[in-house]
Amino acid sequence: MPVPETMQAVVCYAPGDYRLERVPVPRPGPGEVLIKVGAAGVCASDVKAFLGAPRIWGSADFPAYLIAPVIPGHEFVGEVVELGEGAAEKHGLAIGDKVVSEQIVPCWQCRYCRRGQYWMCQVHHIYGFHGGIDDGAWAEYMKFPAGALNYKVPASVPDDQAALIEPLACAIHAVERGQIALGDVVVIAGMGPIGLCMLQVARLQSPGMLIALDAKPDRLERARRLGADLTIDVTREDAIARVLELTGGYGCDVYIEATGHPAAVNQGLQMIRKLGTFVEFSVMAAPSSVDWSIIGDQKELNIHGAHLGPYRYPLAIEYIASGKVNAAALISHRFPLSEFARAIETAHAAEGSCKVLLIP
């Protein structure tokens, strides 16, 4: 089927100002790839962008990393429909392939890219956040720049499940940063889609006890079904006291923060044992203030950040394709592009929702 001249796309102009518009279909230049989007996820960071979080839009304290106008969407899968000159050889792709692209498009010139640490690229172009450069997948078609990292997906993986490859890659990276050892007591705070991916990946590391924290009963129920040994509703129970009780007063070995709520940071510092490992993953909506003496003088903790899913897309694809991670269990809602506002509202409310998808 020939590619049309125009397409429907959601365009972000400002916090709360998102519009469904008809825009030109991007055309691939040398080394570039055009896909027809099959499915795109609504991430917590997309919701924060819609709500105007200062860490995303920028403020006196934080530089902006969203440049509008832009088509949002960094969790996606699609079918290759056009290849620019040399793109087939460069990326190993053919027309009709099912494909994903890493969220970040590295510059390949900065200090980090030259060292192979491309996920920390100084330029840091990310799909769905930099207008006019790397528009995202809340559209019928999407272009991968020449410098993008692209991967084929088995045709057997449904589009809605393949849209979870990006969050799963992030989850794998975060869990690896936790350096879980056999028998460890591991706490994961936040049972949203990425937290539930982390839970399933952490289960593969054979921890002694895997504990899930959240404030939503339905999400804790999903966590139980997906491998949590214990779930704690933080609105009904003192999670810190419970974890300390379970560990003879020592605390958990590994704590992974995936809530995006500032209070979860201090919660983790209180419940983790001395010499334990704290992994911070979330995009915070607001700053978090903690007593840094806990980290140094009191507990000598290992504090690890986790950003994106570097080098982990092939593993994420294999985990979903093989069923080692149950992606289908995370999908709660599917909306057409025309109902993007309902999709954002549903993801924000988190009442009975998990992974919300847009199906162009």
3-class SS of residue 185: strand
Residue 26 above 80 pLDDT? yes
Residue 150 CA to residue 122 CA, distance in Å, equals: 20
Q: Tell me what percent of the residues of the chain surpass a pLDDT of 90.
A: 91
Residue 65 above 90 pLDDT? no
Number of domains in the chain: 2
Confidence band of 234 (pLDDT split at 50, 70, 90) = very high
Domain encompassing residue 224:
168-305
Confidence band of 56 (pLDDT split at 50, 70, 90) = confident
Residues 131 and 20 in one domain: yes
Q: What is the dihedral of CA 323, 329, 148, 133, to 10 degrees?
A: 170
Q: Judge whether 247 lies within some domain.
A: yes
Q: Judge whether 284 lies within some domain.
A: yes
- What letter represents residue 291's amino acid? D
* CATH number for position 240: 3.40.50.720
Per-residue pLDDT at 64 = 85
Q: Judge whether 139 lies within some domain.
A: yes
Confidence band of 54 (pLDDT split at 50, 70, 90) = confident
Report the predicted TM-score, pTM, of the whole model to 2 decimal places: 0.96
Average confidence (pLDDT) over 272-295 = 91
Helices (H), the chain: 44-51, 54-57, 87-91, 111-114, 159-162, 165-177, 193-203, 217-225, 239-246, 263-271, 292-293, 313-322, 340-349
Residues 88 and 188 in one domain: no
Q: Judge whether 56 lies within some domain.
A: yes
Residues 75 and 40 in one domain: yes
29-47 pLDDT per residue, tens: 999 999 999 999 999 999 9
Average confidence (pLDDT) over 189-194 = 97
Confidence band of 321 (pLDDT split at 50, 70, 90) = very high
Residues 160 and 14 in one domain: yes
* CATH number for position 111: 3.90.180.10
Residue 12 above 90 pLDDT? yes
Per-residue pLDDT at 61 = 75
